[in-house]
Structure 1
Amino acid sequence: MADHAPGNTNSGTDTQKYSLEQVVTTALALQLPVAVWRFPSASGANACISFNSAIHIEQPELENSPFGFFFCPFVVGEQPTLFIKADIVHSSETGLLTFSDDVTQTQKQEFIVALQRSQSIKQNWHLHASETINQQTEAGFKDAVAEAITTINNGYMEKVVLSRTATHPLPAGFNLIAIYSLMLKNYPNGFVSLVSVPEAGTWLGASPEILVSVDTDNVFRTVALAGTQPATQGEPVGNAIWRQKEIEEQGMVERYILSCFKKLRLREYTEVGPRTIVAGNLMHLRTDFSVDLTEVDFPTLGSDMLELLHPTSAVCGLPKEPALHFIKAHEGYNRSYYSGYLGPVNSPDGTHLYVNLRCMQLLKDQAILYAGAGITGESDAEKEWQETQYKMQTMGKILSNF
C-alpha cells in the first residue's frame, strides 16, 4: 500500500480493530458502495469502500488505475462498468482500517462514529434499480439449446453459451456477512466475492475462473476453463473421464486465448494444461497461460487482453459476434453482471480480475441464481439443462444450509 504523506492525519491506518460485519454494515447504512473479496486459498478477506458513488467507466485501463475494485457487466454498455475506489480498506485478518490520502477528516470521523454504533444498525444491502425478474423456463432453455445446435451445425458459429436464472427465497434470519462467511468456508479454492453498489444491487459469488491477472512479480496470467462434470467426494481428479464434447469445448477456449495473443503479436508465453480442477461440487478442464512482463516488453498487456477477452468464449461463444447475437435473441433475459468480471486492481496483491460465475444477486426477499452451459454441435438439451442445475447448486446449497 502506498506510503502516506507525513503529517496527513486524514489517511493512514486506524489502530482500532473492527470486524468485517461492522465495516460492511456501516458502509451500507451510509449508502456507500462496497466490495469484499478473498483470493483462492487465502486465509483472510479484504474490503474496499468508496465515499463517492461507484465511478462509471468506458474501458478499464488497468495500468493507470488507482487501487480499487472493478465490476463489469456481461455486455459492456447495457449496464455500467463500475469502479469502486479504495478510499477505505479493511483486512479481516488484522481487523484494521486504512484510509487513502483522498479521505477528508470529516469523512473519516463520520465513518468511525457510524462504526461505533454499527451493532444497533439494521443490516441492509443495495438493491438493483429494477427488481423485474425475467426467467428462462426449462422448456424455453431446451428450445434455445436445440436452436443453437441447428445453428452451429449449419456453420454459423462453433459454440454458444446459453444461461438461465432461478429464484430462491432468502432463508429466515438471513445475514449478509454470515452467508459470505459460509461461502468462504465451503469454497476455499474460489475467488469469493461480495459486491454491493447503489442501483447495481448486491451480488455474491465464488468464481473458479481468472480472466486477467498481473501479480506483484509483474507476471500476467489468464486461463482457459471449460467442460463440466459433477465432482465425486473423495475421488482423485486424475480419475476424471472427459467426453469428446467437453474436450473440444475446452480446446475452443484455448484457441481463442491464443488468437488474442496472436492479434497482439505476442509469442513469449507459457502454457500449462489442460488439467482437471475441482471448483465446489464440480470439475472442469483448465489450461493456464502466463507471461513474465519483466522479460517481455508489453506494459499494457493486462488492459489489451482484457479488452480482447471479455466476454470470453467460455461465457459467450465462438465466433464472438454471432454467438452474442444468438444469446440476445434466444436467452430470454438480461444477464446484467452475471458472466461479467470483477476484482481488485492495483491492490497490494496486484490486479486480479475474475469472471463472475457461480453467483447470485440479492433482492429484498429472494436471490436470483445464475448458471450457463456451453453448447456445441454435439450437445444434448437435457444434459445441458442438468449442467445448469449442477452449477446452481453452488449457491443453492449455501442458501439451503444457512
Structure 2
Amino acid sequence: MMMGEQARDFTLEQFFQAAIAGQKAVAVWRLPNTPHLQACVQLGQHFTTGQPQLETSPFGFFFCPFQVTKEEPNLFIKADLYFDGERVTSAPEVPQQPLQAFYTLLDTPQRINAWHTPASAQRHAFQTEEGFVGAVHQAVEAIQAGQMEKVVLSRTDQETLPDGFSPVAAFRAMTEKYPRAFVSLVSVPGVGTWMGATPEILVSIDEQQVFHTMALAGTQPAVENVADAIWRQKEIEEQAMVERYVLSCFKKLRLREYTEVGPRTIIAGGLMHLRTDFKVNLREVHFPTLGTDMLELLHPTSAICGLPKAPALQFILDHEGYNRSYYSGFLGPVNSPAGSHLYVNLRCMQLLAQEAILYAGAGVTEGSVAQKEWIETQHKMQTMRQVLINFEGVDE
C-alpha cells in the first residue's frame, strides 16, 4: 500500500519508539502556550548541516551546539514523517521502501523506555562549587580590569535516572509543568538524547510573518505576584546589556522598523526573569532574510556568552572547565505548519544510559557575588531536576 500523504493515527509513544528501534533521528516539541504536541522523524542517516538558512530550508528541526566543532556539528532532522499529536503523515517525496519499513515499526510493539545514547563513552567534567566560585571571582576581576562587560559561566551536575524512566512520559510531564516554555525532546543516533524546557526565543517567524526575538536576563526565585518583584541593580544592568546587544544587531542590518516591549517580569520554571520583546512585521518591512541574518548575528547571544562576544567567549573556553556541547546552543522547528521557531537550549539535560547531565549558567557582571551566582545555577537546575524527582513510571 502506498502511504504518501495519507495520515494514520498513532500515539507519540509509538512514534518515538519506532524511531529509536529503527535508528532514526526524532525531534518532539511543544510551542509555548499551546496544547499541541508535534514531532518529526528523518528516515535518512545524514544529519550534519552548515549554517542554518531558515528561508530556504525544508520543514524539519534544527539542533545546534554552543560552538560548532567536528564532534558537535549543527544538526538538521528533516521532517520525512510528521506527527501532529494524533496522526502521522509523510512528506510527498519520501522513498517508499524506508517509509514502509518505518510504518512496519510503528505497527510493532516496541520497548517503551529506549533512547539514543552517544556513540562514544563520554567522560563528563563536573565543575565543583569551589571551581565555579573561583571562576566567577576571576571573571569579576577581568571585568573590573576592562577586559569585558559581562560573561556567562555555566556548569553541569549529574542525576541518576529513576527506575522505569521514559523520555516521552517525562516530556509529557514537562508540557504540563511548564506551559509557558518551549518543551523539547531530541534523540539522534550517535549523538544522544537531550530534553528541556526553555523560556528564551532566539529567532521566531510565525504564520503571520511576524519576526520575534527577545532579550532575557536577570534571575530570581518566583514570587506569588510578579507585580511585587524587586530587581537589584545587577540584574537590571545585565538585562539592559542583552537589550543593547539585540539593538546592535538590528543596527548592523540597518533595520529601523521594529516594535520593542519591555522590560517586564516573566515567570519560567519557578524563576523570574526580565524580558524585552522585539518584533518586526515582515509583510510590512521588506527584509526576506531577516531570520537567517539575525540568527547569524545573535548566536551566541550575550545572554549565554557575554559582552563583548570575543573576549567573553575566550574567557568561557579558558575557565569554564568543561564542554557545553549542545547546551546554550539553539533548537526548534523551521518551516513547520506553525512557522519557524528557534529557541536557546537552556534548562536542559542530556540523557545517558543511567544518568542525566544537567546544565545551568549565570551571568557575571561587575556587581556579581560569586556565591549568589552558584545559587542561581542551583535554582535553574531545579527545572529539570524536578522532572526527574517527580517522575512517575509508565506501566508496560
Q: Considering the TM-score relative to the shorter chain, is it more than 0.5?
A: yes
Instruction: Say if 2:263 is the partner of 1:274.
Output: yes
Deviations 1:7-53 (A, max 9, x none): x9442032x31110011001111000000000001112100000012
Match of 1:238 among 219, 223, 227: 227
Q: Does structure 2 conserve the Cα–Cα contact (< 8 Å) formed by 1:54 and 1:85? A: no
How far apart, CA to CA, are the structure 1 residues paired with 2:154 and 2:358?
11
Determine the structure 2 residue equivalent to 1:4. none
Determine the structure 1 residue equivalent to 2:113. 123
Match of 1:35 among 27, 52, 55: 27
> For residue 86 of structure 1, what is the amino acid of its counterpart?
A
How far apart, CA to CA, are the structure 2 residues paired with 1:122 and 1:194?
15
Match of 1:96 among 81, 87, 100: 87
How far apart, CA to CA, are the structure 2 residues paired with 1:299 and 1:122?
43
Determine the structure 1 residue equivalent to 2:328. 339
TM-score normalized with structure 1 length: 0.95
Determine the structure 2 residue equivalent to 1:147. 138
How far apart, CA to CA, are the structure 1 residues paired with 2:9 and 2:131?
51
Deviations 1:56-93 (A, max 9, x none): 1221110000000000000123510000000000021x
Structure 2: runs of 5 or more not aligned: 392-396
What percentage of aligned pairs have identical amino acids? 61
Structure 1 residue 129, shift from structure 2 partner:
2.8
Structure 1: runs of 5 or more not aligned: 1-7
Instruction: Say if 2:164 is the partner of 1:173.
Output: yes
Q: CA RMSD in A?
A: 1.1
How far apart, CA to CA, are the structure 1 residues paired with 2:50 and 2:9?
37
Determine the structure 1 residue equivalent to 2:377. 388
How far apart, CA to CA, are the structure 2 residues paired with 1:195 and 1:50?
12
Structure 1 residue 54, shift from structure 2 partner:
4.5
Q: Does structure 2 conserve the Cα–Cα contact (< 8 Å) formed by 1:163 and 1:388? A: yes
**Matches for 1:107-256 after TM superposition, within 5 Å:** 107-118=98-109, 120-121=110-111, 123-130=113-120, 131-232=122-223, 235-256=224-245
> For residue 81 of structure 2, what is the amino acid of its counterpart?
I
> For residue 313 of structure 2, what is the amino acid of its counterpart?
L
How far apart, CA to CA, are the structure 1 residues paired with 2:165 and 2:306?
36
SS in 2 for 1:164: strand
Aligned length: 389
> For residue 51 of structure 1, what is the amino acid of its counterpart?
L
> For residue 350 of structure 1, what is the amino acid of its counterpart?
G
Q: Does structure 2 conserve the Cα–Cα contact (< 8 Å) formed by 1:10 and 1:104? A: no
Instruction: Say if 2:302 is the partner of 1:309.
Output: no
Structure 1 residue 107, shift from structure 2 partner:
1.9
How far apart, CA to CA, are the structure 1 residues paired with 2:226 and 2:113?
41
How far apart, CA to CA, are the structure 1 residues paired with 2:119 and 2:96?
32
SS in 2 for 1:361: strand
SS in 1 for 2:9: coil
How far apart, CA to CA, are the structure 2 residues paired with 1:292 and 1:316?
28
Q: Does structure 2 conserve the Cα–Cα contact (< 8 Å) formed by 1:90 and 1:98? A: yes
SS in 1 for 2:124: coil
Structure 1 residue 291, shift from structure 2 partner:
0.6
> For residue 105 of structure 1, what is the amino acid of its counterpart?
Q
How far apart, CA to CA, are the structure 1 residues paired with 2:242 and 2:105?
47
Determine the structure 2 residue equivalent to 1:297. 286
Structure 1 residue 369, shift from structure 2 partner:
0.2
> For residue 46 of structure 1, what is the amino acid of its counterpart?
Q
> For residue 108 of structure 1, what is the amino acid of its counterpart?
L
SS in 2 for 1:124: coil
Instruction: Say if 2:63 is the partner of 1:63.
Output: no
Instruction: Say if 2:78 is the partner of 1:85.
Output: yes
Structure 1 residue 117, shift from structure 2 partner:
1.3
Match of 2:250 among 253, 258, 261: 261
How far apart, CA to CA, are the structure 1 residues paired with 2:6 and 2:259?
39
Match of 2:4 among 4, 7, 11: 11
Q: Does structure 1 conserve the Cα–Cα contact (< 8 Å) formed by 2:159 and 2:355? A: yes
Instruction: Say if 2:14 is the partner of 1:25.
Output: no
Q: Does structure 1 conserve the Cα–Cα contact (< 8 Å) formed by 2:154 and 2:377? A: yes
